């Protein structure tokens, strides 16, 4: 028996990673592509050997051979498409971030729970060897009690209005750097530290004039007491990508999550460089494999919608704090 996948969306991430990963998994098969542009759906179905293509989302959901829907369009589409898929009895793997707001994320979780279907969020970096090693070290107390964490991401991104990816900088599309790239790191941080409790934040348009902010700064406190900052900008003249968790007995210092190593630092001891295996050639494959294998075995997904909701709560809290000037309970 194979797990039948329907895919909503035909963007780069679908063509370059998601569809190839599904095709590469022995227990999965591509059944149908949905796009609002029929020709795009037809092209991808031809490219990847899917049985069907449609410009009617209801047709995708009514297909008896579709067991799970990969919701991969713009962020504004995630909640309505996930809720509709759940009502049709389909499992859902939704692209990150799961929703534009925490309230939308809650609705998605509740809809899937009510329908008795599984919901997972495509935070594939949890499957990176580096992230898994970090999680193990924090869990075993290698740095003692976590005290503070920092995420810094800076780059330059300014697509032209006619760029197919311009939706990433539209307020109802991608939401900006914090939503688009910061969400991955925030998700890993929540995996390491647990539930977030409070958020304060600032967002602004410093040098670029698209709808989404080009500069965002988030300050959070977790239920376990750890403080965290996340600074993201798409207006920078130099690239920065760092992730650090400091504890009472040491610190974990990471560059890009694709790096082959990171550093464990302890006072009075030489820095320990920890090497990790390379990420999978297709970074989505371990995620697809894990979700499909568990569903075929009748098991719950490893990282469910509530896990993916944590990062959305932090991001939404940052935006609400900017609007209100208040510290937001999340």
Residue extents of the structural domains in the chain: 3-123+283-302, 125-280+311-329
pLDDT in tens, 110-126: 999 999 999 999 999 99
Cis ω for the linkage preceding 97 (within 30 of 0): yes
**Marked catalytic residue, from 16, 90, 96, 165:** 96
- What is the rounded distance in angstroms from the CA atom of residue 166 to the CA atom of residue 156? 14
- How does residue 165 score in pLDDT terms, banded at 50, 70 and 90? confident
* 69-97: average pLDDT: 96
CATH superfamily, domain at 125-280+311-329: Dihydrodipicolinate Reductase; domain 2 (3.30.360.10)
Please give the Cα distance from 132 to 128 (Å, whole number): 6
Catalytic-residue membership of 16: no
Question: How do strand 28-34 and strand 52-54 relate by DSSP bridges?
Answer: parallel
Domain 3-123+283-302, second-level architecture: 3-Layer(aba) Sandwich (3.40)
Distance CA 200, CA 225 (A): 15
Question: Residue 12, Cβ neighbours under 10 Å: how many?
Answer: 11
Q: Phi/psi of residue 275, each to 5°?
A: -90, 145
Q: Quote the pLDDT of residue 24.
A: 98
Average pLDDT, integer, range 173-191: 90
Task: Let me know: does 172 contact 184? Beta carbons within 8 Å.
Answer: no
CB 275 within 8 A of CB 261: yes
| Residue 110: alpha-carbon gap to chain centroid | 19
pLDDT attached to residue 176? 84
pLDDT value of residue 166: 87
Confidence of residue 171 (pLDDT cuts 50, 70, 90): low
Asked if residue 78 has pLDDT above 70, the reply is yes
Its pTM stands at: 0.96
9 band by pLDDT with thresholds 50, 70 and 90: very high
219 phi and psi, to 5 degrees?
Answer: -120, 130
Spatial neighbors of 190 by CB under 8 A, at least 6 apart, are 196, 307, 310, 311, 314
> Which is nearest to 313 in space by CA: 208, 161, 225, 186?
186
pLDDT for the residue numbered 174: 62
**CA 248 – CA 130 distance, rounded (Å):** 22
Residues 74, 77, 78, CA angle at the centre, nearest 5°? Answer: 95
3-class DSSP assignment, residue 209: coil
Confidence category of residue 136, pLDDT binned at 50, 70, 90: very high
């Amino acid at each position: 028996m194979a797990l039948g996948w329907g895919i909503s969306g035909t963007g780069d991430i679908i063509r370059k990673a998601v569809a190839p990963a599904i095709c590469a998994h022995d227990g999965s098969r591509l059944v149908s592509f949905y796009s609002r542009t029929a020709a795009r759906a037809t092209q991808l179905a031809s490219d990847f050997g899917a049985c069907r293509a449609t410009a009617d989302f209801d047709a995708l959901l009514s297909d008896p051979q579709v067991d799970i829907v990969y919701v991969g369009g713009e962020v504004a589409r995630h909640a309505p498409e996930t809720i509709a898929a759940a009502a049709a009895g389909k499992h859902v793997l939704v692209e990150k971030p799961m929703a534009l707001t925490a309230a939308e994320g809650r609705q998605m979780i509740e809809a899937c729970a009510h329908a008795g279907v599984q919901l997972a969020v495509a935070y594939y970096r949890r499957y990176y060897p580096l992230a898994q090693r970090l999680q193990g070290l924090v869990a075993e107390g290698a740095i003692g009690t976590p005290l503070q964490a920092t995420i810094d991401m800076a780059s330059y991104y300014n697509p032209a209005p006619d760029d197919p990816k311009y939706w990433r900088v539209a307020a109802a599309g991608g939401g900006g750097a914090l939503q688009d790239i910061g969400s991955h790191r925030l998700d890993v941080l929540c995996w390491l530290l647990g539930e977030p409790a409070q958020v304060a934040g600032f967002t602004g348009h410093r040098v670029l004039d698209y709808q989404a902010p080009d500069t965002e700064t988030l300050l959070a406190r977790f239920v376990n007491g750890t403080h965290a900052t996340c600074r993201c900008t798409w207006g920078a003249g130099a690239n920065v990508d760092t992730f650090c968790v400091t504890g009472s007995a040491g610190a974990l210092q990471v560059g890009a999550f694709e790096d082959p190593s990171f550093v464990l630092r302890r006072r009075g001891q030489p820095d320990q460089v920890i090497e990790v295996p390379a990420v999978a050639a297709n970074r989505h494959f371990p995620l697809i494999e894990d979700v499909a294998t568990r569903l075929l075995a009748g098991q719950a997904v490893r990282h469910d919608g509530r896990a993916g909701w944590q990062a959305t709560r932090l991001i939404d809290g940052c935006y609400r704090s900017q609007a209100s000037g208040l510290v937001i309970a999340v």
